[in-house]
Structure 1
Amino acid sequence: MGPQPFSHDIRVRYQEVDMQRVVFNAHYMAYCDETMAAWVGDAFGWDGTDDEVDWMLVRVEMDWHGSATYGDTLTFEAGVEHWGSSSFRVLFAGSVGDRPVLTARITYVCVEPGTTTKMAVPDLLRATLATVP
């Protein structure tokens, strides 16, 4: 996968590594979540409180191509791969240097802030989050 619209670095912390000395699989979802929060924070100032837009994760597909360990810097790239009427799918690629570690596709559904009521994708998201080339 080539360069994506957003890039975020995460340094692997000691407590995220399991007995096999690799990042425990569940932490990769947290890394994607951290990348998404950084992206929308940079894109339009989202901070998760009192915002005009909100979304919930509804589907995850993750493939591992390698592993990361304590002290590694994982670079996560992200871009919107698909826009639906009320949902959007983000493609994440994580790597250590030039070495691919994982690819994830996460589908989010837009909800009315403060609720779990589905709503159409707001124009703000479509206008500010770049689509994967």
Structure 2
Amino acid sequence: MSHCFEIRVYYEDTDLAGIVYYANYLKFIERARTEWVRGLGVDQSRLKTEEGIVFAVRRIEADYLTPARFDDMLTVETRVEEIGGARITLAQTARREDETCFVARVQLVALSNTGRPQRLPEALKRAIAED
């Protein structure tokens, strides 16, 4: 299954050449991941407060394929590739209509309040499996 999140490119997202500044794609896919988790019914604030678990990006591989520009409407697709004991690997793609602008493979890790890896909550694993 996959989750889609739409985002418009604003002037502030672009560089001097008028194309999306490379680091802003990371912001776009972060927003998409947040909405994906929210759509699964997971409250990340409560997860942190009640279970002491937060998510951090451990690794990211990114390819910039074609530039997006001011006022483009992008769709960011998020797909689960792998779930481990404490990590989730996602494939994320930013598209403008049928044209792929950016692709990333993102590895997230669940961390405790002390910064140590923490097993993923079973409720989250179930929610992902049911998605």
Pairwise same-fold verdict (TM > 0.5) = yes
The alignment's TM-score, normalised by the length of structure 2, stands at 0.88
The alignment's TM-score, normalised by the length of structure 1, stands at 0.87
The Cα offsets for residues 9-68 of structure 1, whole Å up to 9 and x where unpaired, read as 00011111001111000000011100001111111142x323244211110100112111
1:54 equivalenced with 2:54 (yes/no): yes
Which residue of structure 2 aligns with residue 22 of structure 1?
19
Report 1:52-91 matches (<5 A).
Answer: 52=51, 53-91=53-91
Alignment root-mean-square deviation, CA: 1.7
C-alpha distance in structure 1 between counterparts of 2:18 and 2:33, whole Å: 26
| Structure 1: gaps spanning 5 or more residues | none
Q: How many residues align?
A: 126
| Structure 2: gaps spanning 5 or more residues | none
C-alpha distance in structure 2 between counterparts of 1:72 and 1:129, whole Å: 30
1:40 aligned to which of 37, 42, 45: 37
C-alpha distance in structure 2 between counterparts of 1:116 and 1:7, whole Å: 30
The structure richer in helix per residue is: 2
> Which stretches of structure 1, 4 residues or more, deviate above 4 A after TM superposition?
none
Q: Structure 2: which amino acid aligns with 1:37?
A: T
Q: Structure 2: which amino acid aligns with 1:24?
A: Y
State the percentage of identical aligned residues.
24
